[in-house]
Amino acid sequence: MGRPKQFDPDAAVDRAMDVFWRKGYAGTTPQDLVDELGIGKGSLYATFDSKRALFDRALERYREQQADTLARIIDQPGPVKPRLRAALQFIVEANAADPDRRGCLAVNTAAELGGADPKATLDVRHMFERTQGALEAVITEGQRTGEIRSDIPGAALSAYLFTTVVGLQLLVKTVRDPLDLTQVVEAAIRSL
Amino acid sequence: MGRPKQFDPDAAVDRAMDVFWRKGYAGTTPQDLVDELGIGKGSLYATFDSKRALFDRALERYREQQADTLARIIDQPGPVKPRLRAALQFIVEANAADPDRRGCLAVNTAAELGGADPKATLDVRHMFERTQGALEAVITEGQRTGEIRSDIPGAALSAYLFTTVVGLQLLVKTVRDPLDLTQVVEAAIRSL
DNA sequence: CATTTTCTGTACCTATAGTTCAAGAAAGGT
DNA sequence: ACCTTTCTTGAACTATAGGTACAGAAAATG
């Protein structure tokens, strides 16, 4: 009943995610959102309530999307190290191909709101824990098969590898050429 | 001649640095600065021209300050690994003690402005290169004395270690307890 | 169709961002 | 003592942030 929406809210969240990703939370204005989503301010606020609520949805959307992407690379058959290498190298190459060098929305949000905004801090923490968990599964698998060193506990090793992942996501934004970070990926894999 | 300044501009930059550090660039308002610096808006703009110019000065101030801090820890006599461990552990403990979890201003700025703002990107890049260079000096020293593995080139190894440093600076902002990252520090040192 | 419901665009609103300016205050020069 | 210079405070200003309130328009239901 009633008039149906003229736009797809989920698609709008996708576009909003992109804006926040490029400009950060504080750096994004309602006008930016109106321009990029292609809907009126009325619809924007009627549908999403507030800039912050939309940001929260965008962050959640990012979580779903990234979980997929990472899982698809990491959950392959075959030896463990190449799978991990592919995951890290994907970060490097995706950002080398991105003229905006957006990095990772979760990492950017951690930097901007972490420590200051409890809700955002928690959301990002959960995303981080999820990713680190995925790495840990692969690493302990590698430790069982002997592909990965066992003198460091799997939990510590995956926390360490995840720290590298986060560092990479940050560094792609400032480095002259993201592909230079390939040597970091190699070093990280070799040290496992 | 003329009326002398009633405040110390350098001290004001210090306080501004602190505000930007806590709130980010876009998240800091002129009013925030007025409140924290304890000077009028007129003086603020007469002395520093613009919010952005003040931010640039704050970032430069941060560079000097951090370079000192890191160098002091790392340029000690004695075996190499403990010195590197102390440097990483310092990051963890400093943030564990900071109720605001500010992390690192350079890292925060990289996340917020990296890729989008050329000047800020360059400034941060230079800071990063400097720190990475300091790490490299210590690592190649360790490789000469045999304390550190030589199967990975010093440049790659220090780029890798620096990536870990950056990751740590980010993660301290979201993790439940920064001290949990001590295991990451240990793993990083052991993998050298 | 008439009705009801929900949507949409536009105008509007208040507070603040980011900056400038006018008028006065504190020092040195003469 | 006065003049000049440089500083200070605080009001003022324009544009935008972030959001609300309407006045229709469009679709589903009966």
- Does residue A16 lie within any of the structural domains? no
C-alpha dist (Å) from residue A109 to A9, A27, A105, B20:
22, 12, 6, 16
- Does residue A27 lie within any of the structural domains? no
Sign for the CA dihedral angle at B147, B149, B150, B153 comes to: negative
Closest A-chain CA to B176: A125
Residue-number span of the structural domain to which A117 is assigned:
59-191
Q: What angle do CA A21, B156, B183 make, to 5 degrees?
A: 70
Q: Do B155 and A183 touch (CB under 8 A)?
A: yes
CATH number at residue A177: 1.10.357.10
Over residues B152-166, the mean pLDDT reads 98
Closest B-chain CA to A104: B111
Cβ neighbours for A137, distance < 8 A, ≥ 6 positions apart: none
Q: Round to a whole number and report the distance in Å from the CA of B34 to the C1' of D19.
A: 27
Question: What's the mean pLDDT when you consider all of chain A?
Answer: 96
Terminal alpha carbon distance of chain A: 59
- Does residue B6 lie within any of the structural domains? no
- Most A CBs within 10 A among B163, B168, B169, B180, hence the mutation to make, goes to B163
- Does residue A186 lie within any of the structural domains? yes
User: Residue B185 has what pLDDT?
Assistant: 98
- Does residue A24 lie within any of the structural domains? no
User: Residue A3 has what pLDDT?
Assistant: 83
Domain count of chain A? 1
Over residues B9-37, the mean pLDDT reads 97
Q: Do B159 and A186 touch (CB under 8 A)?
A: no
Contact B181, B175 (CB under 8 A): yes
Over residues A162-175, the mean pLDDT reads 98
Q: What residues of chain A, 119 to 148, have a C-beta less than 8 Å from chain B?
A: 121, 124-125, 128
- Does residue B8 lie within any of the structural domains? no
Q: Is B116 helix (H, G, I), strand (E, B) or coil?
A: coil
User: Residue B47 has what pLDDT?
Assistant: 96
User: Residue B5 has what pLDDT?
Assistant: 87
H or E stretch covering B93: helix B80-96
User: B10: which 2 tokens?
Assistant: 């350098």
User: Residue A5 has what pLDDT?
Assistant: 86
User: Residue B2 has what pLDDT?
Assistant: 76
* pLDDT tens digit sequence for A103-127: 999 999 999 999 999 999 999 999 9
* pLDDT tens digit sequence for B99-146: 999 999 999 999 999 999 999 999 999 999 999 999 999 999 999 999
Which residues have CB under 7 A from strand C? A 1-7, 39-43, 46-47; B 1-4, 26, 28-32, 41-42, 44-46, 49-52
Burial class (CB in 10 A: 0-12, 13-18, 19+), B32: middle
- Considering only CB atoms, A190 lies closest to which of B116, B152, B155, namely B152
User: Residue A71 has what pLDDT?
Assistant: 84
- Rounded Cα distance, A100 and A78, in Å: 34
Q: B40 φ, ψ to 5°?
A: -75, 160
Cβ neighbours for A19, distance < 8 A, ≥ 6 positions apart: A28, A32, A33, A36
Nucleotide with the nearest C1' to A28 CA: D17
Is 80 exceeded by the pLDDT of residue B1?
Answer: no
Percent pLDDT > 90 in chain A is 94
- Does residue B4 lie within any of the structural domains? no
Q: What confidence category does residue B85 fall into, taking pLDDT thresholds of 50, 70 and 90?
A: very high
Q: What confidence category does residue B3 fall into, taking pLDDT thresholds of 50, 70 and 90?
A: confident
Is 80 exceeded by the pLDDT of residue A8?
Answer: yes
Higher pLDDT: A154 or B66? It is: A154
- Does residue B37 lie within any of the structural domains? no
The answer to which of A68-77, A107-116, A153-162, A169-178 has the lowest mean pLDDT is A68-77
pTM score, whole prediction: 0.95
Q: What angle do CA B31, B34, B35 make, to 5 degrees?
A: 85
Over residues A47-68, the mean pLDDT reads 95
Q: What confidence category does residue A156 fall into, taking pLDDT thresholds of 50, 70 and 90?
A: very high
Residue closest to D8 C1′ by Cα: B43
C-alpha dist (Å) from residue A158 to A72, B31, B171, B181, B189:
18, 43, 14, 12, 15
- Rounded Cα distance, A172 and B111, in Å: 10
